[in-house]
């Protein structure tokens, strides 16, 4: 049921694929997130029209690509994000990096001191004092790490936390440097989902946690030194994009996002190690509270609630899935996905200014031989909310598991004048 990420073609001159390499050296890559669109695409979308937007909103903020692209262009941004670890990543990339740029000498001095503190042999001494009780309680009988590597990781994080007494932004950056290397230093790997490494994967891998974190901190130093002095800030509007506060009505003139795909990916389970590492969950059981609020994009997100808003075009697809799908959660997932996206779009519409634009990129799906044209169905949902479709553009093509061609599409909606 999951989709292959293999692209079979891409339109010549597609949005986001022709931008220069200038964004490679930046804080976009501080955390290795596998979801969402590229930095180049986000920046290109923001500067595509003659007039730069004044206030940009991303209802699915993720690791902060939209927010950071806007910040570097001097555009104020806003976002919603359910995953508290992703909120920390975004805040580090935008707010903490902005602070570090304006206080670069202090940041540089602290970074050099931190690197020295987590280097051998000092890190070994600190690692001996690390308590593993919280890890064992969070993930009982789950050997996600070799003990020595886990001890080094936790020791480095403990040192990072001490810098909050100097400035919380410094502690934030060092903590993200630790979290960014958590999976790489574990027995796990992250592809579409977080999973255990196979025996034949990474045979020559050498795990050196202090060196890995040091490399990330040095990259941060390098990136921050090139950060513009006039970058803009970002604001967390709400955790749940289905619940945008009324105070943000008629605020945003541009909305840019990549919503969850109907592909079975569990966006919270994928970051469970980082969520635990930064004390944002106590155990895997805590992931349930996020799944109950998220847009229903995966079969594990399907809740026990029966009520949902119906759309005739969605029902045509869901009824076929009722017949063809061996997993009866899938037709329910499809119905709830578009119902949830309706709630998101209603809030987005209310928060936008008249004539504001709403750009999203989305891909279709296929389950048990039934094609789900997500982009087409979202157009029906958006029309019912009140949006008008201005533009539809194929960004890329890819293959499903049965080799059927699927598409990734950019949709641009406009809020009709009052």
Q: What is the pLDDT of residues 312-345, one digit of tens each?
A: 999 999 999 999 999 999 999 999 999 999 999 9
What pTM was computed for the model? Answer: 0.91
CATH of the domain at 400: 3.40.50.150
90: left (phi over 0), alpha (psi -120 to 50) or beta: alpha
Higher pLDDT, 14 or 293: 293
Q: Which of 88-92, 101-105, 291-295, 342-346 has the lowest mean pLDDT?
A: 291-295
Read off the pLDDT of residues 138-153 as tens digits, 9 standing for 90 and up: 999 999 999 999 999 9
Residue at 170 is within a domain: yes
- For position 190, what pLDDT does the model report? 85
Mean pLDDT of the 265-292 span: 92
With bands split at pLDDT 50, 70 and 90, how would you rate the model's confidence at 215? very high
Residue at 2 is within a domain: no
Percent of residues in the chain assigned helix, strand, coil, to nearest 5: 45, 15, 40
- The number of folded domains in the chain is 1
- For position 122, what pLDDT does the model report? 97
Residue at 1 is within a domain: no
Query: Domain span at residue 180?
Result: 7-415
Angstrom distance (rounded) from CA 214 to CA 118? 8
- For position 403, what pLDDT does the model report? 80
Residue 285: strand, helix, or coil: helix
Task: For residue 411, give the H/E element and its range.
Answer: strand 405-415
Asked whether the bond before 121 is cis by omega within 30 degrees of 0, the reply is: yes
For residue 13, pLDDT over 60 is answered with no
* C-alpha distances out from residue 331 to 88, 298, 317, 321, Å: 34, 11, 8, 5
Contacts of 316 (CB under 8 A, 6+ apart): none
Give percent of the chain with pLDDT exceeding 70: 93
Residue 172: strand, helix, or coil: helix
Mean pLDDT of the 97-125 span: 98
Read off the pLDDT of residues 345-391 as tens digits, 9 standing for 90 and up: 999 999 999 999 999 999 999 999 999 999 999 999 999 999 999 99
Residue at 131 is within a domain: yes
264: left (phi over 0), alpha (psi -120 to 50) or beta: left
Higher pLDDT, 88 or 33: 88
Angstrom distance (rounded) from CA 309 to CA 295? 13
Q: Which of 132-136, 348-352, 404-408 has the lowest mean pLDDT?
A: 404-408
Angstrom distance (rounded) from CA 100 to CA 411? 36
The residue to which tokens 């119906």 are assigned? 310
- For position 1, what pLDDT does the model report? 35
Closest C-alpha to 418, from 337, 355, 332: 355
Beta bridge partners of 411: 360, 392
Residue 63 per-residue DSSP state: T
Closest C-alpha to 259, from 354, 95, 378: 378
For residue 111, pLDDT over 60 is answered with yes
The first and second tokens of residue 19, run together, are: 């931008």
Read off the pLDDT of residues 188-203 as tens digits, 9 standing for 90 and up: 988 778 888 887 777 7
Mean pLDDT of the 121-125 span: 97
Residue at 337 is within a domain: yes
């Amino acid at each position: 049921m999951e989709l292959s990420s293999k692209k079979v073609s891409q339109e010549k001159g597609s949005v986001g694929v022709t931008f220069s390499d200038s964004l490679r050296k930046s804080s976009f890559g501080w955390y290795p997130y596998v979801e969402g669109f590229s930095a180049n695409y986000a920046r290109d979308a923001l500067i595509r029209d003659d007039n730069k937007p004044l206030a940009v909103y991303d209802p699915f903020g993720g690791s902060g690509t939209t927010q950071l692209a806007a910040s570097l262009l001097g555009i104020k941004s806003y976002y919603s994000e359910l995953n508290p670890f992703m909120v920390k990543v975004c805040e580090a990339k935008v707010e903490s990096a902005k602070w570090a740029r304006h206080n670069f000498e202090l940041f540089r001095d602290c970074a050099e001191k931190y690197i020295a503190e987590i280097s051998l042999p000092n890190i070994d001494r600190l690692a001996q004092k690390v308590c593993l009780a919280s890890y064992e309680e969070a993930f009982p009988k789950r050997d996600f790490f070799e003990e020595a590597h886990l001890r080094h990781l936790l020791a480095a994080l403990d040192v990072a936390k001490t810098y909050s007494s100097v400035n919380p932004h410094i502690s934030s950056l060092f903590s993200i440097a630790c979290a960014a290397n958590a999976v790489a230093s574990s027995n796990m790997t992250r592809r579409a989902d977080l999973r255990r490494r196979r025996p034949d994967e990474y045979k020559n891998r050498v795990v050196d946690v202090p060196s890995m974190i040091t490399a990330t901190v040095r990259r941060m130093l390098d990136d921050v030194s090139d950060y513009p002095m006039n970058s803009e800030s970002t604001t967390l509007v709400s955790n749940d994009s289905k619940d945008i506060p009324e105070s943000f009505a008629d605020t945003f003139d541009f909305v840019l996002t990549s919503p969850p795909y109907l592909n079975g990916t569990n966006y919270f389970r994928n970051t469970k190690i980082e969520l635990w590492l930064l004390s944002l969950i106590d155990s895997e059981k805590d992931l349930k509270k996020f799944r109950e609020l998220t847009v229903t994009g995966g079969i594990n997100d399907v809740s026990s609630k029966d009520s949902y808003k119906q759309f005739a075009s969605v029902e045509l697809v869901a009824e076929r899935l009722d017949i063809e799908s061996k997993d009866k959660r899938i037709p329910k997932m499809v119905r709830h996905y578009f119902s949830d996206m309706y709630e998101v779009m209603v809030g987005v519409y209310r928060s936008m200014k008249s004539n504001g634009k709403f750009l999203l990129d989305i891909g279709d799906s296929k389950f048990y031989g039934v094609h789900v044209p997500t982009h087409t169905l979202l157009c029906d949902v958006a029309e019912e909310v009140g949006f008008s479709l201005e533009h539809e553009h194929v960004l890329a093509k890819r293959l499903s598991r049965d080799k059927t061609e699927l598409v990734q599409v950019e949709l641009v909606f406009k809020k009709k004048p009052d």
